[in-house]
Structure 1
Amino acid sequence: MAKYLILIYGDAAEWAAMSSEQEVAHAAAHKEFAAAAKVLSSHELELASIAATTVRTDAASGRVTTTDGPFLETKEAVGGYYLVEASDLDEVIALTELLPEVHASHSGVEIRPVVVR
C-alpha cells in the first residue's frame, strides 16, 4: 500500500458563504469519503489569510525572514488535507471524487504520492 496526500484547495469566501444546507451536505460528503478511504490523518486548516506564516531566506541579505501570510497570494488556498493509504493512484482518484471540492467551481483537489525512502 502507498500513501497519498490529498490537498484540498478553495476560495475561503465561497466556503464562508455556504448556506446551512450546503454546510450539512459538505460535511456529509467528507464523512462519506472518510468512511470509504483508509484515512491516516486529516485536518482542516486555519485560513491562510489570518494564520499563515511564511519563512524564507532573503536573497540580498542571506538572513532568514518571516512574514505574515501565505507563501503565494492566490484566491484559492489550501483549506485542509487527508493523508490516505491506497493500493494505487487510480484508487485515490476514485475516492477523491467523493469530495465536494472536486465538484465545486471555486475549489479543487491535488493528490501527491508520499515519498518513502
Structure 2
Amino acid sequence: MASVETSLKETMTSIDGSLGAALVDYNSGMALGTLGGGKDLDLSVAAAGNTDVIRAKVRTMEMLGLNDEIEDILITLGGQYHLIRLLKTRGNTGLFLYVVLDKGNSNLAMARHQLKRIESELEL
C-alpha cells in the first residue's frame, strides 16, 4: 500500500506528460497533497475548482435519476488534459485524484489505466 506522497510521485513518474497531480477532498475542496504544477498551474486553485465540477455532475445525475457512480471526468483543453478520478476503493468517499497532462506528450488511455492502478494501491 502506498502513502499519499508515494502515490503522487507515482502519478508524476509513471504517467507520461504529467504536469501536476493532487489528492483532493471534494467535501471541503482542500488538496490533501500536491506535486508538480507551477506558476501557471496552481494545484490548490484547481483542486477547489474541480470540486465544483464534481458537485455539479453529482447534482445533475441526481436530477436525472441516474443510479450510478462517476468513475472519472475528463476535461480537454487545447494543450492539456485534466483527469479527475473519484476514489472508490476500500470505502473511500469524498476524495479524488487529479492529474494534469500535457496533451502532446501523453496517452490518455494509459493515463486512465495508471490512475486506476495507483488508486488501488493508495493507503489513506
- Shared topology, TM-score over 0.5? no
Q: Normalising to structure 1: TM-score of the pair?
A: 0.35
The structure where strand makes up a greater share of residues is 1
Q: Which has the higher contact order (CA 8 A, sep 6+)?
A: 1
- The structure whose residues are more often helix, as a share, is 2
TM-score normalized with structure 2 length: 0.33
